Amino acid sequence: MLKFEMIRPTIEEYNYLRNSVDWSLKEKGISNDRAKKSLIASPFCVTVYDDFKVIGMCRISGDKTMYGYLQDIIIIPEYQRKGIGTKMLKILLKDVSKLKGYLLGVCPSRKSAYFYKTVGFRKRKEKPNGFMYKEI
C-alpha cells in the first residue's frame, strides 16, 4: 500500500532514489553532508513509501513565502507512469495553495514538459530556456 508523507527522505533514501534514476550525487561531487543540508533547507517535501520501501519523492526549494522551485521529482523506475508523480505534486500544490501569489517554477526536460503542462504549469511568454511556472 502506498503512503504519501509530508516528510523529507533520509540521506540513505535520497541516495537510493537518485541512484535508481542515474542521478548519482557522488558522480557530481556532492557529499552526503551537502545533500542533507539541501534537504533540510527544502520547505516542502513529499516522500512516498510502498509499505516501508521508499519509492519516490518530490520537493520544493525556496523561501516558503513568495517563491519556490520544484526539485527532485524522483520515482524509482518500476513505479513510474502509475500516477505517483502527479499525486506527489498535487499534495505539494495543496500545501502551498494558501500562499496566494506564490510562484512555483521548474525547468523541465523536453520529455517531462508535457507532464508539467497537465498539472497547470505554463511557459512564460518570453519563453526562457524551457522555464515553466505555476502561480497559486
Contact 89, 121 (CB under 8 A): no
Q: Which domains, ranges and CATH numbers included, belong to the chain?
A: 2-99 (3.40.630.30)
Which residue is listed with cell 541516495? 15
Q: Do the bridges between strand 67-75 and strand 103-106 make them parallel or antiparallel, or are there none, so unpaired? A: parallel
Partners of residue 68 on adjacent β-strands: 62, 104
User: Is there a contact between 13 and 48 (Cβ–Cβ < 8 Å)?
Assistant: no
pTM to 2 decimal places: 0.88
pLDDT at position 126, please?
64
Cα separation, 86 vs 83, in Å, equals 5
- Give the per-residue pLDDT at 76: 97
Q: How far apart are CA 70 and CA 44, in angstroms?
A: 10
Residue-level pLDDT, tens digit, the chain, 136 residues: 999 999 999 999 999 999 999 999 999 899 999 999 999 999 999 999 999 999 999 999 998 889 999 988 999 999 999 999 999 999 998 988 888 889 999 988 888 888 888 888 988 776 656 777 888 7
